[in-house]
């Protein structure tokens, strides 16, 4: 029971992080019908930007914990959004209406570029996040001691997802995003500036991804320059599980994948944890490629 | 100068270039540069086999390192455990890689391009994790397998870089010839058709899933053969040599050089694997440059440096003049 409760909370926290990254994949796919391969690297970039803000600027220690977290979150979201905009501007926009292979290869090139840029700027070794960011206390839950950090990560991801849900469903811009995802041509006829919608999506998605990077740094305490590839693939799996292009689906898929991974690591094998995730990806694509909540666009895979 | 003389001149130029290239070890090229050329040759063969899958059938396959790994490990296990000579193990390396390809790819072969790409990346990772975890107790975990024997050909033991130079480039020439025939067969035309328009190909009665799977298997078997050569050249293999980046390098060679064209693939191998050796100081930045180069290529020249020429057919005498 102890293992179960610990892994349940761990899975929920990690799943929340996967969900935040998966949202970036799914939003871009919804509008552009394109898998943004470089999204995982934007997530890693966010983690390193957070590291720089926290450690190099000496935020932790000089200002209060709450203020440090808020400043870091805001700065990282801003810079990640900027990186996302640059990515769209440099790697996707010039391609125009060319074929799918070009877009995929361009995205791959951008991903390689970002990963190596991170390595050259911050170095190839592991970087440690400040350990004293959150007080090292535990909360009681179902008779078990749960670290505060775990609850904080889960709460943060839930709050962000609720905000995003509100943005997509209750604002004019959100309505434009939904309309462009359903039918770009019709959206244009209704006077929606689809170009602007694409830019918005490339700002919001990477901002969420960058924030998830900071959360990984805070949660695990260390970051690595090539973590974007692994987390990117996992978050993509989460987006597929929920039905790619489907925003609530990405949230559910992320949480589900976090739970599968946590329980798989605890009850099956820790060493095979990542392999379990990729097997889930293959099984889902073979059995139900449209995901649990169905892909938003009716297109044959 | 007429077009035919120009063509003949180009042919002799290429033949002379190939001869000079083959004479390089005799012209006093150092062991280091021979090793670099061997590496280029090995990647060239791998990329030629990937070219069948990616360049001709048009499948976004980024898991080629997995098949390469299966071939290398099959050779290493057969050689160190059962003491089979490398060349006896080589066919089985190919067969193992081919069977593995059938097993993992049969359920996913129908997936659309970018999904296939993601799944094949996942397969490489699964294979690497399986090797690190010492699957079946045969792969030696993260240390890998050591002490693989050198290949022996008709009693001649291949040990030095110049021996491997002729083995690898001979193998490359053989691969080019065989793949050239494959491209110009009915089978190759079917693959091209699938790449250009899958629906139309299916309408013409081509069993697209079966053709795609068979193309993947052909590529995998060939990668398995290269794995055997690699294992015997290195004598030590470990999971780190078969990671995702190896697949990326093969993918880049085909895309940068010109997918679907053997000359393009060869050029790609020299550029991606050989060129960075000339700028060793910039080694750490080489992937950065290649990443940017991929983006630029897709914007300005998406078909690659040397794209395949459109095919020409000469009309039979009896029809000449009747059709324009």
Instruction: Residue B93: name the closest of B114, B118, B74 by CA.
Output: B74
Please give the span between the terminal C-alpha atoms of chain B, in angstroms, as a whole number. Answer: 26
Q: Look up residue A95 and give its two tokens.
A: 């391609």
- Please state, as a whole number, how many other Cβ atoms lie within 10 Å of the Cβ of residue A246: 24
Task: Give residue A301's pLDDT band: very low, low, confident or very high (50, 70, 90).
Answer: very low
| Candidate from A90, A116, A301 with C-beta closest to B295 | A90
| Candidate from A95, A113, A301 with C-beta closest to B291 | A113
Radius of gyration of chain A (CA): 19
H or E segment and range at residue B153: strand B152-153
Mean pLDDT of all residues in A145-151: 80
Residue numbers in A near B108 (CB within 8 A):
282, 285-286
Count of domains for chain A: 1
In chain A, residues 19-38 whose CB comes closer than 8 Å to chain B? 34-35
Residue B302 has pLDDT above 90, yes or no: no
The domain containing residue A216 runs over which residues?
A: 2-287
In a domain, B81, yes or no: yes
Query: What is chain A's mean pLDDT, rounded?
Result: 84
Q: Do A283 and B145 contact (CB within 8 A), yes or no? A: no
Torsions phi, psi for A292 (to 5 deg)? -65, -50
In a domain, B251, yes or no: no
In a domain, B185, yes or no: yes
Residue B223 pLDDT: 92
| Weakest mean pLDDT among A24-28, B17-21, B54-58 | B17-21
Torsions phi, psi for A146 (to 5 deg)? -110, 130
In a domain, B47, yes or no: yes
Residue A59 pLDDT: 67
In a domain, A70, yes or no: yes
| Weakest mean pLDDT among A13-17, A33-37, B138-142 | B138-142
Q: Tell me the pairing of strands A127-128 and A222-223.
A: antiparallel
Tell me the pLDDT tens digit for each residue of B194-231: 888 888 888 888 888 888 899 999 999 999 999 988 98
Q: If you count residue pairs, one on A and one on B, with CB atoms under 8 Å apart, how many are there?
A: 115
Contact A105 B291 (CB under 8 A): no
| Weakest mean pLDDT among A2-6, A297-301, B28-32 | A297-301
Count of domains for chain B: 1
Tell me the pLDDT tens digit for each residue of A9-25: 888 888 999 999 999 88
Tell me the pLDDT tens digit for each residue of A242-270: 888 788 888 889 999 999 888 888 887 77
Residue B105 pLDDT: 85
In a domain, B304, yes or no: no
In a domain, A20, yes or no: yes
CATH number of the domain enclosing A82? 1.10.3470
| Candidate from B108, B126, B294 with C-beta closest to A286 | B108
The domain containing residue B181 runs over which residues?
A: 31-243
More confident residue, A67 or A238: A238
- 3-class SS string, chain A: CHHHHHHHHHHHHHHHHHHHHHHHHHHHHHHHCCCCCCHHHHHHHHHHHHHHHHHHCCHHHHECHHHHHHHHHHHHHHHHHHHHHHHHHHHHHHHCCCCHHHHHHHHHHHHHHHHHHHHHHHCCCCEECCCCCCCCCEEEECCEEEEHHHHHHHHHHHHHHHHHHHHHHHCHHHHHHHHHHHCHHHHHHCCCCHHHHHHHHHHHHHHHHHHHHHHHHHHHCEECCCHHHHHHHHHHHHHHHHCCCCHHHHHHHHHHHHHHHHHHHHHHCCCCHHHHHHHHHHHHHHHCCCCCCCCCCCCCC
More confident residue, A20 or B323: A20
């Amino acid at each position: 029971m102890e293992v179960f409760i610990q892994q349940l909370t761990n899975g929920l926290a990690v799943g929340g992080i996967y969900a935040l990254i998966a949202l970036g994949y799914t939003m871009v796919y919804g509008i552009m019908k394109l898998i943004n391969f470089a999204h995982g690297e934007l997530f890693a970039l966010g983690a390193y930007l957070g590291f720089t803000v926290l450690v190099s600027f000496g935020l932790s220690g000089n200002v209060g914990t709450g203020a440090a977290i808020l400043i870091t979150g805001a700065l990282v979201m801003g810079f990640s959004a900027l990186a996302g905009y640059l990515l769209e501007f440099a790697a996707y926009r010039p391609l125009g209406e060319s074929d799918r292979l070009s877009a995929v290869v361009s995205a791959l090139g951008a991903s390689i570029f970002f990963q190596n840029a991170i390595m050259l700027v911050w170095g190839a070794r592991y970087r440690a996040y400040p350990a004293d960011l959150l007080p090292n206390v535990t909360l009681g839950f179902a008779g078990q001691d749960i670290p505060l950090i775990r609850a904080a990560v889960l709460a943060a991801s839930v709050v962000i997802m609720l905000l995003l849900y509100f943005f997509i469903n209750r604002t004019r811009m959100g309505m434009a995003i939904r309309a462009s995802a359903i039918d770009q041509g019709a959206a244009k006829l209704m006077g929606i500036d689809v170009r602007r919608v694409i830019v918005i999506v490339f700002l919001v998605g990477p901002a969420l991804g960058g924030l998830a990077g900071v959360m990984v740094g805070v949660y695990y305490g260390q970051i690595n320059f090539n973590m974007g590839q692994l987390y990117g693939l996992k978050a993509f799996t989460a987006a597929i599980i929920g039905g790619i292009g489907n925003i609530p689906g990405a949230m559910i898929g992320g949480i589900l994948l976090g739970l599968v991974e946590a329980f798989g690591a605890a009850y099956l094998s820790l060493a095979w944890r990542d392999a379990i995730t990729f097997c889930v990806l293959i099984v889902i694509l073979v059995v139900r490629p449209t995901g649990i909540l169905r892909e938003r666009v009716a297109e044959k895979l | 100068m007429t077009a035919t003389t120009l063509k003949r001149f180009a042919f002799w130029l290429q033949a002379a270039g190939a001869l000079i290239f083959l004479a390089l070890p005799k012209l006093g090229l150092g062991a280091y540069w021979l090793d670099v050329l061997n590496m280029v040759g090995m990647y060239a063969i791998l990329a030629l086999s990937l070219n069948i899958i990616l360049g001709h059938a048009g499948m976004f396959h980024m898991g080629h390192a997995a098949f390469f790994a299966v071939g290398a490990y099959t050779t290493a296990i057969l050689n160190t455990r059962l003491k089979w000579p490398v060349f006896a193990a080589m066919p089985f390396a190919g067969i193992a890689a081919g069977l593995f390809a059938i097993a993992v790819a049969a359920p996913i072969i129908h997936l659309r391009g970018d999904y296939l790409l993601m799944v094949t990346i996942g397969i490489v990772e699964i294979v690497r994790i399986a090797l690190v975890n010492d699957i079946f107790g045969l792969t030696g975990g993260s240390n890998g397998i050591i002490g693989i024997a050198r290949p022996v050909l008709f009693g001649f033991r291949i040990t030095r870089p110049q021996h491997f130079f002729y083995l690898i480039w001979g193998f490359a020439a053989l691969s080019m010839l065989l793949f050239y025939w494959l491209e110009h067969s009915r089978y190759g035309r079917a693959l091209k058709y699938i790449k250009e328009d899958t629906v139309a190909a299916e309408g013409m009665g081509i069993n697209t899933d079966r053709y795609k799977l068979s193309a993947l298997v052909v590529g995998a078997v060939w990668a398995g053969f290269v794995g055997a050569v690699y294992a015997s050249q290195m004598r030590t293999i470990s999971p780190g040599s078969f990671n995702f980046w190896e697949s990326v390098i093969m993918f880049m060679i085909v895309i940068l050089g010109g997918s679907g064209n053997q000359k393009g693939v060869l050029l790609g191998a020299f550029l991606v694997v050989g060129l960075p050796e000339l700028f060793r100081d910039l080694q750490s930045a080489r992937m950065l440059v290649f990443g940017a180069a991929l983006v630029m290529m897709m914007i300005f020249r998406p078909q690659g440096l040397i794209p395949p020429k459109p095919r020409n057919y000469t009309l039979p005498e009896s029809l000449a003049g009747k059709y324009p």
